[in-house]
Amino acid sequence: MADEETFALAGDGLYEVTWDGADAPLRMPLLASPADARGRGMDLSVVRGGEAVDLTGATAYLLWRHREARARGCEPFEAVDAEHGRFRVFWPASMACAEGTVDAQVVVCGGDEAISSAPFAVRVAAALGGVEGSGGDGYSMFLEAIRKFEEADELIDDAVEKAQQAASAAIAAATAAATAATEAKDDLLAAAERGDFDGEPGAAGADGQDGVSPTAKVEQTEAGALITVTDASGTTTATLAHGQKGDALTFDDLTEEQVAALRGEKGDTGDAFEYSDFTPEQLEALRGPAGADGADGADGISPQVFFVSYPEDEGIKIQIWDHQHAEARVIRHGTSCTHSWDGTVLTVTSASGTSSADLAGPKGDKGDPGEAFSYSDFTAEQLEALRGPAGADGADGENGADGADGADADIVGATATVDGSTGTPAVTVTMGGTPGARTFAFAFSGLKGEAGEPGPQGEPGADGAPGSAPDLSAYATKAYVDQAIEDLDDLSEMEF
């Protein structure tokens, strides 16, 4: 892979994207390809109102999720010019390795604060040169190289382990050889002292070749690690590059031993845990399965309240009966007092204030069956509440049997009055007394004729012959009134 400084097309695949406003949409469409290696990506400029934002010290991240591959990741941006809000990122290989659609979002963090952009999509094009593992063509080798590049961390660990093993083996071999040489030297010295080698001195031997103890060294570099192994055959080096940045470490990734090593000393006793300390999710997790239905409770008793009006100098007497005992209170006159009752709570308001009492006692044991409810147990209001709409007319019933003859009524008195009104003569009859002893009052009106207007004063005439009597037929006479009363004496045929 060519360096950015020497590759002629470096940065050619970076899309210039301007983010102006938290909810402002970013440039569309954006493309990625499995064949790229630091090829396509995003050149981000963060502005507000057209002016560049100084993001010195801030960090930008690319959050992504591949819909088809069901993979996700977080890639840090490279700060190009943070003072002027410039960052860039190349699409990571794990994001662009499969054809499909990637949902992405930019997140900028500064200290304890962070803000994210509106989500946007990146389309990953198909790899036209083949698929991974399909054969030995160059493209498959390229994909295999990418895979090995992403797994470089594992390779580094493996190589370091093997180098350390080789170094340990070499050191052990060198130590064993030194021990054997020391033992041989001691044996030779002991044999020389014993004279085992006494004889003619031989010729001096040639100097032996210097021994070489193998060494291994691992150096960390920005790109990865440099491993150097030196032995008798010479020096060998190997360079391993860093792999792709992995997912953030979570608590679930730790072993029990690591969690125990991270656990600090026991702290001071905290405040008592309260219901309000739980989150809705924790409360929901603590909710157990629904329990079985409980047994039916005993029937309750609704207390009855009666209000009895006392004379004005006493007041109102309140009687309360809960079918077990009764209580009575008298509210004297002189203080305006109101009360309300909702079936269980009695509220009384007077000059001293408002007080209320819940008169519904604890649920009692089920009582013995009571007597059958009869019509006389209903109040007039209850009977009215039970009255339904008028039904249709029923069929005519059969004629009933003749009733017994009633007793004749006696008339024990009658009175008559005549007023001085004019108009049409009329009489009003008022019946009184009892069915066996009746009284009647007759009130006559309109018996008097209307007065005529006075005529003009005539001249005195000559004495005429005696005239006839005046016509009083329109007026009731005393004999007419007496006869009318007499005619009403026999009322035996009248019904009342």
Compare 336 and 96 and report the one with higher pLDDT.
Answer: 96
Mean pLDDT of 138-146: 51
Please, which pLDDT band fits residue 351 given cuts at 50, 70 and 90? Answer: low
What confidence score (pLDDT) does residue 63 get?
Answer: 94
Q: How confident is the model at residue 3 (pLDDT cuts 50, 70, 90)?
A: very low
Task: Tell me which of 63-67, 109-113, 122-126, 171-175 is least confident.
Answer: 171-175
Quick one: pLDDT band at residue 133, thresholds 50, 70, 90?
A: very low
Backbone angles phi, psi at 184, to 5 degrees: -65, -40
Q: Is a pLDDT exceeding 90 seen at residue 165?
A: no
Taking all residues of the chain, what is their mean pLDDT, rounded to a whole number?
75
**What is the band of 1 on the pLDDT scale with cuts at 50, 70, 90?**
very low
Report the pLDDT value the prediction gives residue 196, as an integer from 0 to 100: 63
CA dihedral 398, 399, 404, 409 (to 10 degrees): 130
Task: Please state the domain extents for the chain.
Answer: 14-124, 305-351
Q: What percentage of the chain carries pLDDT values higher than 90?
A: 16
pLDDT at 421 over 60: yes
Q: Is the pLDDT of residue 136 over 50?
A: no
SS (H, E, C) 240-270: EECCCCCCCCCHHHCCHHHHHHHCCCCCCCC
CATH architecture of 14-124: Sandwich (2.60)
What is the rounded average pLDDT of the residues 453-463? 73
Residue that wins the pLDDT comparison between 332 and 207: 207
CB-based contacts of 77: which residues, under 8 Å, 6+ apart?
Answer: 44, 59, 60, 61, 62, 87, 88, 89
Bridge-partner residues for 426, per DSSP? 445
Task: Select from 347, 343, 298 the least CA-distant residue to 322.
Answer: 343
Cβ atoms within 10 Å of 481's Cβ, excluding its own: 16
- In 22-161, DSSP assigns E strands to 30-32, 40-48, 51-52, 59-66, 71-76, 78-81, 86-90, 100-110, 113-116, 120-124
Q: 357 pLDDT exceeds 90?
A: no
pLDDT greater than 60 at residue 146? no
Q: What is the pLDDT of residues 278-314, one digit of tens each?
A: 888 888 887 878 778 877 777 766 776 666 666 655 6
Q: At residue 215, does pLDDT exceed 60?
A: yes
| CA 104 – CA 121 distance, rounded (Å) | 6
Report whether the peptide linkage leading into residue 29 is cis, meaning its omega lies within 30 degrees of zero. Answer: yes
pLDDT in tens, 23-77: 888 877 899 998 888 889 999 999 998 899 999 999 999 999 999 999 999 999 9
pLDDT at residue 200 in the model: 65
pLDDT for the residue 208: 64
Question: Are 224 and 239 a contacting pair, CB within 8 Å?
Answer: yes
For residue 325, is pLDDT > 50? yes
Selection from 107-111, 187-191, 233-237, 302-306 with the highest mean pLDDT: 107-111
pLDDT of residue 81: 95
Question: Tell me: the pLDDT tens digits for 363-379?
Answer: 777 777 777 777 777 78
Mean pLDDT along residues 306-332: 64
